[in-house]
Amino acid sequence: MKYVSTRGQMAPASFSDVLLDGLASDGGLVVPAEIPTISAEQRESWRELSYPDLAIEIVSLYATDIPREDLEKIIRAAYSAERFAAPETVPLTKLDARITLVGLSEGPTMAFKDLAMQFLGEVMPYVLQKRDRTLNILGATSGDTGSAAEHAFRGKPNISVFMLSPQGRMSAVQRAQMYSLDDENIHNIAIDGNFDDCQNLVKVINNDAEFKAKHAIGAVNSINFGRICAQIVYYFWAWLRATDALTPEQREATVTTAERETSLISIAVPSGNFGNIFAGHLARQMGLPIHRLILATNENNVLDEFFRTGIYTPRTRENTLVTSSPSMDISKASNLERFVRELFGEDVDAFVESWTQLDSEGTLNLTAFLPRFIEEFGIITDSSTHEDRIETIRSEFEATGVIVDPHTADGLTVARRLNEVEGRILVLETAKPEKFGETIEEALGDETPAPSPELQALLALPQHTVEMTNSADELRDYIVEHAPAAK
């Protein structure tokens, strides 16, 4: 398996190459030169596998330059019982006949990012050791990515993490999980701005080829394909578990109209940066029979607007709202570049021209592709508000006793609203509700569970950050001063 850039100016590279580099050398994002296809027979042969064993089968299709024996050790370590609380790693909870919750928050930082980051925390040190290299990971977080990355890489040899986060725009638990770490290889940098400012700084540094090479800069945000690759696994896992009780004919959706309500499976994904749902898109392209991919946004509904109208207009910093689902307070979805590149097929030049127009004019008109969004890719979208989140958290607790975090509530709100979608809907959970205590308390009032002793202890720990202006030069200086010498 080789990887190429969305912008067409990077020589084909191996999985290990793109794993360490993150962003493509021409400033684009890396994508597989070909998407592997999975037959129904092969998919069914995976039905009895554990989550780690399923991950081995799927990741091995992408990480073809890592020996199978080594990859098995990496993945079994990443998804061990010591790191994920649920015996099945990703449990499914049926809320009613139509809606099922996919539990992606059983990892060490209580968020879905752990499922990809724990893999990166094992595979990246492996590749670095093989190549006798060091790596300085530069990332941006709107909430959960930072803590997941730092917990995956803390204390790892040959790796330092420089994580940018927006000052005052994360929950108390998210801040505590990141800022309480005192490992020498972890650097928390609080930027005076929003997530997009942090992400732009990451791109500026990555586009400085000389600086990037000299200081061995890499990335673990969802622009790193290694993370997307690991996320594909739980789409297959969730679909397999949701269809365990169906007949082979029902699983392939070759059924009568009366049976469609049980056989068709759609997946709702709370989305801000388009990374999680892009993994689902790849799973569908590989042959997983997902009926609809339902993209749920919050009030920062740029992606919803794009898939409804075909016009993509990222918001300015000033127009990006601060909401109660803060990890989705993103105005420019980095991973959308991968999807848009796919729309243009073999015409790389046309894509580059359009993407350049986005940078220069602030908007991109892709209305010509609008019919393909649903017909070919099965993507439908909707958005949620703070009032929707509060009502969904409250009503779900009253109906089922299940408490969901505000991002998951966005997904549930949209899933329950889209009555025209046939069949069942799996809603991807994004985090444990404890990470967003203020919103949960607003929704549940006196019925809000008390914080656990472990959570109280976490919140009481001293926190360490470096505050910085929105300045690439200031960031460069800090990296130069604190980064280990590149090998």
The contacts of residue 353 (CB under 8 Å, 6+ apart) are: none
For residues 329 and 300, the answer to whether their CB atoms sit within 8 Å is: yes
DSSP state at residue 224: S
For 34, phi and psi rounded to 5 degrees?
Answer: -140, 145
Taking Cα atoms as reference points, which of 384, 403, 407 lies closest to residue 393?
A: 403
Report the C-alpha gap between 234 and 430 in whole angstroms: 12
Tell me the torsion sign for CA atoms 421, 426, 432, 434.
positive
Query: What DSSP string describes 382-430?
Result: EE--HHHHHHHHHHHHHHHS----HHHHHHHHHHHH-TTS-SEEEEEP-
Whether 212 is a known active-site residue: answer no
Report the C-alpha gap between 227 and 223 in whole angstroms: 8
The tokens for 264 are: 């068709």
DSSP state at residue 344: T
Report the C-alpha gap between 154 and 152 in whole angstroms: 6
Helices 144-153 and 172-179 meet at what angle, rounded to 10?
A: 20
Query: Residues 2, 73, 94, 113: which is the catalytic one?
Result: 113
For residues 110 and 135, the answer to whether their CB atoms sit within 8 Å is: no
Query: What DSSP string describes 69-94?
Result: HHHHHHHHHHT-TTT-SSTTSS-EEE
Taking Cα atoms as reference points, which of 123, 172, 144 lies closest to residue 163?
A: 144
Residue listed under structure tokens 């690439």: 472
The tokens for 24 are: 């493509």
Please name every residue paired with 92 in a beta bridge, in sequence order, or none if there are none: 102
Just list the catalytic residues. Answer: 113
